[in-house]
Every structure is written in structure tokens, then in C-alpha cells.
Structure 1
């Protein structure tokens, strides 16, 4: 399992229960959580209890990691929906600090995760579902080699409007290239 991986500016490491205070301090930015399909009116503040539960849950998940910049938690990245026989999984990432958006941190963290998934875990495919309006996420996915494979129409109701999901994926041979 990846314990820690470092890129040019980031470190990706396993979570610990001690990460609760840092997660609590990031809160829930309505514009960020909207990218995950949460309407502005449904955005709730992060409570310390919720941050504790988040940190404990991530600390026990061998496929969830913290994204750190200069020793400070700025987000998370994880694999889920793992199918060992088919050597595939889904991926999710969140840069929770609004001051760190659009700086290439998502792309760097994704590359670190893909390297681990394809070289150490021997996965064949990593897939993602992403809201079609979430261009802030789609760009780094494509920059890292993900390909749009399909569209599910009107899957999410956000802020009173139906939105599509894009299905995107990358194969190990595409990442190695």
C-alpha cells in the first residue's frame, strides 16, 4: 500500500485521526461541494464530529489518502469500487481549499495515485464519474490521460436543474505511454 508519495509540490499520504482539525478548518465551500452534486441550499458546515468521523474513516481505509501542500492538508484522493478480478477501480479527488484550486495540484495528485494504482496495485483501469459541468475537474483528468467514454443524461438534480454525468477512464497502457 502507498504510505506516502511525493511529487514536485505535493505529498500524498495516509490519513490519521489527527487530520480531523485540519479537515474541520477547511469547512465546506459551497462552490466546491456543488462540483460533487450538492445544491447550494444543501451545503452544510462541517462540524467537528463530522471531521472526526471523516478522519477516522479515512485512516482505516487503505485506499484513501490526504493531499498535503507544504505540510498542510488541502484535500483528499481515493480509490473505491475496487474489482480485484477485473483489476479496476473508481477514483475520487477533492481539493477542499479554495485558495489551492487551479494551481495544478489536482493533476499532480492524480498522477501520483495513477502511478501507484498501475505500478504497485497492478490495476488495468481507473474510472471516474464526473458532472458534465465540472470543467475544473475534467481538464486535469484529461491532462492526466483520461478519456471521456460516455454520458449519462440527467443523473443529478443540482440547484433546481438536471445535469449529466460523464463517464471517463484511463487504462494502464495509456498511463504508461
Structure 2
């Protein structure tokens, strides 16, 4: 897996030393909710949880750490890669609240999408995002994703049902 670099971020494979980076991020309750977690399931980051993140990313063939200013700030993955149909699903998470709304996540997404379309020769990438996560929806749209539909009442968060927005991006649409 190559390291992917842009002006503000580096996307690279996880290292054992990243445990400290993930632990330093702690956990943010608002970010937890944007990923579909409820307030009552929020837990502060522990050393064991940081170890679990590093282990999970290490065992995933297409998972990267997002680094900004030599600090771990999140992760990104290509999941369920299907080379027959040349498609995958995509996930990205900026875990540092100081890095939200600054274009860092969009830059990270573009690096991974370029790799997916140019190196892996994928045709289609899909994402699902909670309908209330407007920041993520805007970032995906900046990268060319199109809203294809909604999965109604797909997530139970804070005692209420919420829709998932289903988005897709084809290789010819990637900007």
C-alpha cells in the first residue's frame, strides 16, 4: 500500500507507534454522534481502545491513517472491494475536532479516491452517511459524489431513527 501525500495531509499505513496518536486524540462526543453513536454509548478513548484501532487498521488491506502536521488526526478505508464489478465502499473519519471544516478531510478523500480510480482501476465508490451529518455530505459532494437515495430510518441515534444518505461516485465523474 503506497503512502499518499498532498499539501496538507499524508495518508499512510498504520504503525504501532500510532497507538499514542490515537490515544492523544481522545474521543469527541460530537464526532461520535456524526458516526452514528449515541450519547449514552460515548466513551473516552482508553489505551486499550487505541490499541484496538491500530490493530483493526493493521489487519485491513486498504486502511490508512490520516496525518496532518505530523500528527494522527483520523483514518480512511476502502471497504468491500469487488474487483469483478470494480467497486468499493468508502469511509473517512477526521477524529480531531480542530481539523474539521478546514478542507483536510476533503483533501484526504481526494487522495484515496485518486488511488482507487487510477491505481486499483475501480469504476464505482459508494458511501453512506447519516442525513444529519451535513459537513460530511458537503465534503463528499465536493469530491463529486452524487446523492442516489436514502435508506429510511436506518440508524438509531439518541433515541430517534435517522436516515442514511446513499451516495455514489463513478470513475468518469471524479474531479
TM-score bucket of the superposed structures, by smaller chain: over 0.9
Paired with 2:155 and 2:59, the residues of 1 have a C-alpha distance of 30
1:37 equivalent in structure 2? 36
- After superposition, the C-alpha distances for 1:73-129 in whole angstroms (9 at most, x for unaligned) are 111111111112111100011100011100001110000000000000111100001
2:17 aligns to what SS in structure 1?
Answer: helix
2:151 equivalent in structure 1? 152
1:168 equivalent in structure 2? 167
Paired with 2:68 and 2:54, the residues of 1 have a C-alpha distance of 18
Paired with 1:77 and 1:21, the residues of 2 have a C-alpha distance of 18
Instruction: Say if 2:27 is the partner of 1:12.
Output: no
Paired with 2:27 and 2:171, the residues of 1 have a C-alpha distance of 34
2:104 equivalent in structure 1? 105
Q: What TM-score, normalized to structure 1?
A: 0.96
Structure 2: tracts of 5 or more residues without a match: none
- Equivalenced residues, count: 175
2:120 equivalent in structure 1? 121
1:134 equivalent in structure 2? 133
Paired with 1:23 and 1:6, the residues of 2 have a C-alpha distance of 20
RMSD of aligned C-alpha atoms? 1.0
Give the superposition deviation at 1:62: 2.2
Q: What TM-score, normalized to structure 2?
A: 0.97
2:75 equivalent in structure 1? 76
1:37 aligns to what SS in structure 2?
Answer: coil
2:19 aligns to what SS in structure 1?
Answer: helix
2:84 aligns to what SS in structure 1?
Answer: coil
1:51 equivalent in structure 2? 50
Paired with 2:8 and 2:153, the residues of 1 have a C-alpha distance of 37
Paired with 1:22 and 1:53, the residues of 2 have a C-alpha distance of 13
